[in-house]
Structure 1
């Protein structure tokens, strides 16, 4: 009796294994996708390949080779386009509405409304060819985490998101909702990252990571767009920033620093942050420190023009307009010096100040201020992947990496603005946009 039951179990297990194997083989074959690229930009070797065939199995690239014939399977014909890795923006704000003249705007919508607005912002960003972003903070804690989870779960379309959870900032600092009368109480959900000592900073880092943050954003100086703060003024000491870096490192997580002022930049670099955002008053000493420590520069050098034009048209406050005028050219000059010195550059635009989906407008500014077109493209592909420490997964069209591809008209190495004319997007092997 026992032998008979064991034999039946063996046969059942064998049949199940065979069926599983057949099902797996069929599903694997069904998931194979071929992409024919008229031109392919190889950001790893700095070259352009012609007439390439890219094989994608499931989410990943399996092979890239000269196109000689058409194997069986599904094909995407991008033979009339230039094909690049999916673009990456390391400084976005997808959740909520874009910047306006109304200082109370963050209080006008609920957390749910902010996330729903983020759904549309994420869709626009992805369709513009940006398949990965670093979302560098939101006023309502963890709304970025909710959007990220919805994208990862396939509920909505959007770029792959790395999220901060909330800003770590001093009371009344660059990461606060400010500009109100002293007796106005800002909701606690908008102050989850407020920390005024090393002990409080460590606590906030743990709370944000526990809530789903995948990196930490420290507001090291005042901000252009935060009322009552001074961009050049340091708001955290070097020891306080280092507390965030050390605490995050225990979880294998990096810290980035919002830092306009020269002293704040240097404190952040010495404290060990992974990247510096904005860097409006970056000086020669700061550049040398960034080069020495391998710190990445993420500078939103298009943004000043948008603020100047839109702010004057829509009557933004005199304070914000003055601070923008004082920092815009200074930031661009520092960026040009950093490029010349060999500082590591990653692409970041501060989308959310300007409308989402026009992220690629900044490429022309980066070329104007010192990058070659190839290096500008690298900053938004392989360079950004390296900043995230995800270069084994992202950043180039190579076997084994996630299949993030875009197609553009023309040659962006001759006219970098061609990157604003995206005609096809594939994210992790899934076709998002085929015009």
Structure 2
């Protein structure tokens, strides 16, 4: 088993996170993609003070005195990327290790992967299920390097639903029985309205910013076919109402028309995946102003090696990818970008590659707006539970100073972001340089 783990830990964090620059940082000589526009803006300067963009002006600043000046050499500054469907604890470790190892080992691997995620240019992620609370705390406190995390906590599912990885020897379930996955905080099983409310509240007292519910079967759970349904509408509504009591929203794992329709009827604000939806379902989502957070899976290169029923289910998902984006465009759905890359350190490196897949349905500016400013709008729906109250995904005065300097124009060639090691010259998060290959 140890041989499976070592690759995930082979590039652990080796340096302390950077300190904030002692002086305000003045960026000059750059072209700006602001996360909202369809074209670049020229002739600007930008000042970062603390963790915030304090000035974004045309022409030359009145003075450079007391500032660290960064000449960007005509390169493009853009917002840090946002991944709306990331699993911080699952991204770099094989599923066999996650299910069989001490959870402490999984957390160590997640710490190493967090730094790599940030250096790929993803300065914020929404964690779509898993015990990422401690990781978020370590990052926010400056203990380790990593992206901002919007944690959902445990995926809440039913007996037999996606995320129920118990062995048959653990059945029948009794009222006081808790599986290892539940103790570790990866999943939470609820089979009544009262249990749903309890499990939702448990995530909030740990620091969840939104709640992840499971509405149908999933690819990686062996005994949950994609077409099965989990919660009743009333049970799902119990989660939605409880989340609203905490000032935030519910996202639901749902592939099929039936699971999506039931979720929308229960008041769910965001559907995850949706690859098997039909025209009627897309129209229903548009009518209810429901978000679609989906992933551009186009081949088996976008998933860790699968076999048997899991592979068959994934191929069914891939077959629906083209349709879900076409339906989203047809009905004007609000679409968020995410990757859902899990169980493989090498697969996690394809985060930027997944963004390039979007060229099949969107032009570069549309795709980049989705992965920055649009995703930031969805993050802000966490309302009272939002741990980062300034704007994310856009570069404007008052927004967080989360930005990338790209060697080339990503609006002309979005493929640049698939090779971040070569093409990202600066990675700044919270006003701190995590990568800077330019001389100040």
TM-score scaled by length of structure 1:
0.85
Contact map agreement 1:145 1:165 (CA 8 A) in 2: yes
Distance 1:166 1:303, change over 3 A: farther
Structure 1: gaps (5+ residues)? 1-27
Q: Which residue of 2 aligns with 1:52?
A: 44
Contact map agreement 1:339 1:371 (CA 8 A) in 2: no
Q: Give secondary structure in 2 for the equivalent of 1:301.
A: coil
Could you tell me how far 1:30 is from its partner in structure 2?
4.3
Work out which of the residue numbers 393, 396, 414 in structure 2 matches 1:395. Answer: 393
Is 1:114 paired with 2:116?
Answer: no
Contact map agreement 2:30 2:42 (CA 8 A) in 1: yes
Could you tell me how far 1:258 is from its partner in structure 2?
0.5
Greater relative contact order (Cα 8 A, min sep 6): structure 1 or 2?
A: 2
Q: Which residue of 2 aligns with 1:89?
A: 83
Distance 1:330 1:97, change over 3 A: closer
Q: Which residue of 1 aligns with 2:9?
A: none
Is 1:130 paired with 2:130?
Answer: no
2-structure distance, mates of 1:329, 1:75: 50
Is 1:386 paired with 2:377?
Answer: yes
TM-score scaled by length of structure 2:
0.84
Could you tell me how far 1:233 is from its partner in structure 2?
2.1
Contact map agreement 1:124 1:356 (CA 8 A) in 2: no
Distance 1:268 1:304, change over 3 A: farther
Contact map agreement 1:265 1:279 (CA 8 A) in 2: yes
Q: Which residue of 2 aligns with 1:428?
A: 430
1-structure distance, mates of 2:302, 2:24: 45
Work out which of the residue numbers 334, 347, 358 in structure 2 matches 1:344. Answer: 334
Work out which of the residue numbers 333, 344, 351 in structure 2 matches 1:359. Answer: 351
2-structure distance, mates of 1:86, 1:217: 24
Work out which of the residue numbers 240, 243, 248 in structure 2 matches 1:245. Answer: 240
Q: 1:210-359 alignment to 2 at 5 Å?
A: 210-302=205-297, 304-307=299-302, 310-311=304-305, 316-353=306-343, 355-359=347-351
Contact map agreement 2:21 2:432 (CA 8 A) in 1: no
2-structure distance, mates of 1:303, 1:75: 43
Could you tell me how far 1:168 is from its partner in structure 2?
0.4
Distance 1:209 1:378, change over 3 A: same
1-structure distance, mates of 2:141, 2:268: 30
Distance 1:97 1:419, change over 3 A: closer
Could you tell me how far 1:268 is from its partner in structure 2?
1.2
2-structure distance, mates of 1:51, 1:338: 36
Q: Which residue of 2 aligns with 1:17?
A: none
Q: 1:147-166 alignment to 2 at 5 Å?
A: 147-166=135-154
Cα shift readout 1:379-402 (whole Å, capped 9, x = no counterpart): 111111110117852121100111
Structure label with greater radius of gyration: 1
Distance 1:97 1:344, change over 3 A: closer
Is 1:375 paired with 2:366?
Answer: yes
Is 1:182 paired with 2:169?
Answer: yes
User: What's the C-alpha RMSD, in Å, of the aligned pairs?
Assistant: 2.2
Structure 2: gaps (5+ residues)? 1-19, 172-177, 382-388
1-structure distance, mates of 2:293, 2:21: 41
Q: Which residue of 2 aligns with 1:415?
A: 413
2-structure distance, mates of 1:30, 1:98: 35
Could you tell me how far 1:98 is from its partner in structure 2?
3.6
